[in-house]
Structure 1
Amino acid sequence: MNRTPTFVEPAHEIPEETTQSDRTLPSGLKQRHLSMIALGGVIGAGLFIGSGAGIAAAGPSIVLAYAASGLLVLLVMRMLGEMSAANPASGSFSVHAERAIGPWAGFTAGWMYWTLLCVGVAVEAIGAAGIMTSWFPGTASWMWVALFMALFCSMNLTAVRNFGEFEFWFAALKVAAITAFLVLGTLAMLGVLPGTQAPGASNLTGHGGFLPNGVNGLVVGLLASVFAYGGLETVTIAAAESKNPRRAVAKAVRTAMWRIVLFYAGSMLVIVSLIPWNEKSIVTDGPYVAVLHTLGVPAAGEIMKMVVLAALLSAMNANIYGSSRMAYSLISRGNGPHCLAKVSGGVPRRAVLASCGFGFITVLLSYWWPQTVFQWLLNMVGAAILVVWGFTAVAQLHMRRLLEREAPQNLTVRMWAYPYLTWLAIAGIAAVLLLMLRDGDTRTQLYFTGGLSVVLAVTGYLRQRARQAAVPRGEAQPSAASTAEGFGKGTV
């Protein structure tokens, strides 16, 4: 049975701190950290390199694909911002799903996301090691993986402000790189950049037209673009460790949303306007390198390698942080081994070590069983972000009504046109999941992710029933999340 969230009308302004468990995490992050994490968190290697496959499939219509998926992400981020500003928690959407839907939902969304981030740590470490071995051909890949894992594990075992500073500067580098690319590209499109001539719409309408591969190509591009946006959730997790989490997350969400869509859709427009979509270098070298070569930028490939390396290391660091905080939140709410919930020096070090350990084991699996066990893990998290977004949207659909009735003063960020745009986002997520059935590879990912979701949901539901059965008849049966002193004071 799903639990109805319990609210206590506060008699005074709700303090910015979270619950007692979350207060053991220090307020070490500043507003500038959160703002840059929100901007840079979704700018990763998937954009700089992976977008090439989407362009090759969709052609110029990739702009529509990124714009459509960007609008979906915009809605998800707004919903997440609304709930996180009202109830800052290191468990973010897991806490919101537990309150709004039930403990099983918080369990499922939380551990699904933890698995996604830990596998992501391994993938990013392997990718970064590949770049390093290209620069230092006499070195072994495993050596760089071990170095990066040790470096970022150590960093996350120290004060959270170290994570914040690292992410600030690496995110700033990514934002600066993509901003410079947009400026150069726009000048080239206008024909005012020295040595360039305005291409007009020749590359957009030529070479097979705007939809050269038809609707099927557009669908492939849409699927590629959706998964490139993963990472926006980190800012709502990190907000719980800022001095004023409610105001901090509200400001970060507001300043980041439109710029993120501009970065992605704007970049795609520049690329397909300046070079033909079927240019081989878009896939072999990457779309950004291909454009920079066209513009005559010297050492374009090496410049983008450095940017991609920064993106991979930044994502790796953020994933270790996000997975450790999600694990800490879940365990503090009774959804994992209690021995990992200990906080030392303001950091959940055991949760950090557990998350890094799982990530390192995943790296080893990529060496030992790359085509079996490792591929299964990749498939299991293939559609995980859509599951998390789905729980976020459903939670917001329920939570907004309760907030308006019980704690309207906490609605410092509001979802637009509620509930219509919330339902539109849910429909969009469902549509993407259905579109994944069209292709063999994405269909496999959908099946594996669905299997993991079912296993987690059943496990969470059985744990929920066991807790309810353990409470004597006639007594209240609050879940771990409802033990807070009323909604708005936050949970872990």
Structure 2
Amino acid sequence: MHHQQTELKKELKIRHITMISLGGIIGAGLFVGSGSLINSAGPASIFSYVFAGLLVVLVMRMLGEMSIVNPTSGSFSTYAREALGPWAGYTVGWLYWFFWVIVIAVEAIGGSNIIQYWFPSLPSWSVSLALTVLLTLTNLYSVKSYGEFEYWFSLIKVVGIVLFLILGGAIIFGLIPGVHSPGTSNLLHRGGFIPNGFSSIFVGIALVMFSFMGSEIVAIAAGETAYPEKAITVATNSVIYRIIVFYLGSILVLVTILPWDSHTLLKNPFVSVLNVLHIPAAAEIMNFIVLTAVLSCLNSGLYTSSRMLFAMAENGDAPRVFSKVNKKGVPLYAILGCTVVSFISVIFNYLSPDKIFLFLVNASGGVALLVYLVIAFAQLRLRRKYEKENPETLKIKMWLFPYLTYATIFVITIVLIMQAFIDSLRSQFFLTILSAIFIIGSFFVRKNKRSTDLLSAEKKQISLHSKAK
């Protein structure tokens, strides 16, 4: 009986995992964020997506290799601890947790903006609260209900994008009577394919990396399925097609149909394409799909951040209370902890949107790249260890090891450093580095205190983190 209360239930099915990995990558970033990127890089923005997509595929491959050997909810925080030492596991775990807790807040605010489109009289803070509470409840109920919600949210997104691609293709190839096909005019005759030079493509890469964050959720979910090996294999192998079809396909349709330098059309690019077809409720339909994307991100954010907190509490990197599990195998306190922090962030958005909230969003912005960097370093270390100890567990292998791993580390480092030189990303770069230094510092402070008095260390850490929030 006792055993049951300390472990997560393995209730996620393969179909849940497949949809979680599909949906994790299609966030509001694709629907809303793609417009501003196309505005800045023109048709060449497709290269930003190709390049960032390639990086994500490589990182996912490395993560898949480690996850198959050791599927756990701590995922890369556990691998970092194993490969690089306890400080690395602690740092990447807290950074990742911080990233997702802020994402929950951002998505709750995004969701309330969309709902206000239909119900303008509702105060937006109440809608953000309602959405957060609603999805907290599905997460608290059971991991299976999280998986089930995620399954349907993702299904709506995927079906929406596939229909969009079919309609877009039909416009481009002139298959729709009465709708003029733009041919290649938008791609080539508005200052060429790369109107703003190669640097605009690079700025794009950093931006796209954030919309791809979420593809690694599947490695965390693998700790809660009865078939981790099959789940990880499916997810790792399909990440390539997902990026090509959903992202590259959508962006290709957008830059072909819409002029890249039109600010009005790219405010909501997907709606604009549907308007070309004179679909009467285009904005409504697309808004509904974007809302599902937002809710799915919120749902996954709660799931991911709570599981990371749970795993860190088990390792002694977070207050022990977060490792408690109820009868349904749900880490109750971890989920509530993440909800509360997100809710405080949402309140900040109304009290001080341009200062505190912007600070939090920027400070968590560069985390994706840092997490990817740690995954690559961990894989470099662990692969050699696995090959020595038990090579038969390596069911998925990183391609061209170690050269591709080195290349990935090199490229991610370049993209990270470049942020410091790009005006729009500079504050984000420095704030993220600061957050990382703060967390590493707190690790060593804690380690020194620990030997003297465990209890005061626990109290101190709770206050440190509430200050950090």
User: Which category describes the TM-score, using the shorter chain as reference length?
Assistant: over 0.9
**Separation in structure 2 between the aligned mates of residue 60 and residue 96 of structure 1, nearest angstrom:** 39
1:338 aligns with 2:329: no
Shift, 1:418, TM fit? 0.9
Correspondence 1:118 to 2:105: no
Does the CA-based 8 Å contact 1:239-1:248 persist in structure 2? yes
Select which of 373, 381, 390 maps to 1:398: 381
2:443 corresponds to 1:460 = yes
Pick which of 153-162 and 367-376 moved more: 367-376
Question: Which residue of the other structure, out of 282, 285, 291, is the alignment partner of 1:300?
Answer: 282
1:91-130 equivalences under 5 Å are 91-130=74-113
- The secondary structure found in structure 1 opposite 2:178 is coil
Percentage identity across aligned positions? 42
> Which residue of the partner structure matches residue 488 of structure 1?
none
Question: What is the CA distance between 1:355 and its match in structure 2?
Answer: 0.6
Q: CA deviation at 1:466?
A: 6.7
Native 8 Å contact 2:186 2:260 kept in 1: yes
State the match for 1:145 in structure 2: 128
Match of 2:365, SS?
Answer: coil
- Is 1:136 the counterpart of 2:152 in the alignment? no
- Equivalent residue letter for 2:311: S
Partner Cα separation in structure 1 for residue 427 and residue 186 of structure 2: 34
- Could you report, residue by residue, the CA deviation over 1:416-460 in whole angstroms, capped at 9, with x for unpaired residues? 111111111111211211221222231100000000111112323
Distance (Å, rounded) in 1 between the aligned partners of 2:266 and 2:182: 21
Corresponding residue of 1:82? 65
Shift in CA distance, 174/360, structure 1 to aligned 2, threshold 3 Å: same
Q: CA shift at 1:291, angstroms? A: 1.4
Q: Residues 200-349 of structure 1 correspond to what in structure 2 (within 5 A)?
A: 200-284=183-267, 286-345=268-327, 346-349=329-332
> By percentage of residues, which structure has more helix?
2
CA drift at 1:296:
2.5
- The one of 21, 45, 49 aligned to 1:62: 45
- Alpha-carbon distance change, 429 to 469 in structure 1, aligned in 2, over 3 angstroms: farther
* CA deviation string 1:68-113 (max 9, x = no partner): 1110111111111111111101011100111011110000000001
Q: SS of 1:171's equivalent?
A: helix
How much does 1:468 deviate? 8.9
Q: Is the 8 A contact 1:22 1:90 kept in 2?
A: no
Equivalent residue in structure 1 for 2:147, among 161, 164, 169: 164
Deviations 1:138-183 (A, max 9, x none): 2111221121111111111111000000000101111111111111
Distance 1:162 1:201, change over 3 A: same
Structure 1: which 4+ aligned runs deviate by more than 6 Å?
20-23, 465-470
Shift of 1:463: 4.4
Structure 1, gaps ≥5 residues long: 1-19, 471-492
What is the CA distance between 1:259 and its match in structure 2? 1.8
Q: 1:23 to 1:182 in 2, by over 3 A?
A: farther
Q: RMSD over aligned Cα, in angstroms?
A: 1.8
Shift of 1:366: 0.9
Equivalent-residue separation in structure 1 for 2:415 and 2:250 (angstroms):
22
Give the Cα–Cα distance (whole angstroms) in 1 for the partners of residues 70 and 445 of structure 2: 27
Q: TM-score, normalising length from structure 1?
A: 0.88
Shift of 1:297: 2.4
CA gap 1:70/1:469 in 2 versus in 1, 3 angstroms: farther
After superposition, the Cα gap between the structure-2 partners of 1:39 and 1:189, relative to the gap in structure 1 and judged at 3 Å, is same
Q: Residue 73 of structure 1: SS of its match in structure 2?
A: helix
* C-alpha contact (below 8 Å) 2:11/2:226 kept by paired residues: yes
In 1: Cα distance, 2:97 partner to 2:359 partner: 16
Task: Tell me the secondary structure at the aligned position of residue 281 of structure 1.
Answer: coil
Deviations 1:162-217 (A, max 9, x none): 00000001011111111111111122222223333443322111111111111232
Contact 1:108 1:453 in 2 (8 A): yes
Distance 1:169 1:245, change over 3 A: same
Question: Which residue does 2:24 correspond to in 1?
Answer: 41
Partner secondary structure for residue 266 of structure 2:
helix
Asked whether the 8 Å contact 1:436–1:442 carries over to 2, the reply is yes
Partner of 2:415: 432
Amino acid at match of 1:117: W
- Kindly indicate whether the alpha-carbon contact (under 8 Å) linking 1:39 and 1:260 is maintained by their aligned counterparts in 2: no
Decide whether the 8 Å contact of 1:117 with 1:323 is kept in 2. Answer: yes
Q: Aligned with 1:372: secondary structure?
A: helix
Task: For 2:273 and 2:99, locate their aligned partners in 1 and report how far apart those are by CA, in whole Å.
Answer: 32
Aligned equivalents of 2:316, 2:142: Cα separation in 1: 25
Distance 1:463 1:68, change over 3 A: same
Aligned equivalents of 1:96, 1:335: Cα separation in 2: 14
Once the two structures are superposed, the pairs formed by residues 407-418 of structure 1 within 5 Å of their partners are 407-418=390-401
Q: Which amino acid aligns with 1:172?
A: L
Q: Secondary structure at the match of 1:24?
A: coil
1:366 to 343, 349, 373: 349
Q: Contact 2:48–2:208 (CA<8 Å) still a contact in 1?
A: yes
Determine the C-alpha separation between the residues in 2 that align with 1:337 and 1:23: 15
Amino acid at match of 2:86: P
Moved more, 271-280 or 186-195: 186-195
Return the offset for 1:469.
10
Q: Is the Cα contact below 8 Å between 1:35 and 1:256 reproduced in 2?
A: no
Q: Which residue of 1 aligns with 2:461?
A: none
Q: 1:11-30, CA deviations, whole angstroms, 9 ceiling, x for partnerless residues?
A: xxxxxxxxx89971111100
Q: How do 1:168-183 residues align onto structure 2 when only pairs under 5 Å count? A: 168-183=151-166
Checking the alignment, whether the CA contact within 8 Å between 1:104 and 1:464 is kept in structure 2 is no
Contact in 1 for aligned 2:20/2:218 (Cα 8 Å): yes
Q: 1:78 to 1:174 in 2, by over 3 A?
A: same
How far, CA to CA, are the matches of 1:298 and 1:417 in structure 2? Answer: 51
- Work out the CA distance in 1 between the residues paired with 2:104 and 2:205: 25
Distance 1:282 1:405 in 2: 56
